[in-house]
Amino acid sequence: MILHSQILGEGKPFVVLHGFLGMSDNWKTLGTQFSEDGYEVHLLDLRNHGRSFHSDDFSYDFMVKDLEKYCEEKNLENIILLGHSMGGKVAMEYASKNPGNVERLIVVDISPRAYPPHHQDILNALDDLDFSKISTRQEAEEELSKSIKEVGVRLFLLKNLYRKSKDEFGLRINLPVLKDSMEVIGVSLSEDAIFPGKTLFINGGNSDYIREEDRELIKNHFPDARIETIQDAGHWVHAEQPEAFYEAVSSFLD
């Protein structure tokens, strides 16, 4: 099975990987901007996310194999590869295993280190949605607001809502598998993973996903990496400061 994607523009292949509980739609505005700069932008839905297939198998190894298969199917060579959060981990692993196929690597607000599970409250809130009683998106948001106070996070999660039928909503994510995969999401990059090519790490100034002590670890895995901080942005740096993010990526690619 091949990952679902949205392909924008023509030119050099530029592959974008969303984060945990995200989807290709999250990147459509920026993807359109990059396509206008002469790139063929591939916005992917990773397995168990968006419109891609559901599977009980879920790990970085499987996601890297999915990306290898996708690039092979679409004849993508010397790609620009960008990944946010979980997608950033996939991008790091892919680049280290396929260095000859990645011209530039961009990793957004994630480090190669391990992270403890920290999405349980969000997953539980999604699991608590009773679609037999919810008939509108507003009702779904009201339910989520009981446990998720940040409006931006609720709107991000509600992107996963779709109509299974005229009368019933459902979630695009494979929630049962993702709930069982919390340990998998946080694992560190493979110890021997090294990508020697040009790499940009972007972190949000208000986020603690990339810390000062991560810099040495980043350099060990990515010797030609630089780290750029975008101020007044948290973990969803590309959504919170899209102009500054676009400028940082464009400058790196130039």
Contacts of 114 (CB under 8 A, 6+ apart): 186, 187, 188
Neighbours of 152 (CB within 10 A): 12
Q: How far is it, in rounded angstroms, from Cα 12 to Cα 138?
A: 40
d(CA 227, CA 247): 14
Find, among 76, 68, 107, the residue nearest to 91 by Cα: 107
**Chain-centroid distance, C-alpha 121:** 19
Cβ neighbour number for residue 177 with a 10 Å cutoff: 16
Distance CA 196, CA 215 (A): 16
What tokens does 90 get?
């996939």
Contact of 80 with 74, CB cutoff 8 Å:
no
Pair of tokens at residue 104 = 């530039």
Distance of CA 236 to the CA centre of its chain: 10
Active site positions, annotated: 85, 235
The sign of the dihedral angle between the CA atoms of 12, 69, 59, 179 is: positive
Residues 6 or more apart in contact with residue 238 via CB below 8 angstroms: 27, 30, 84, 108, 245
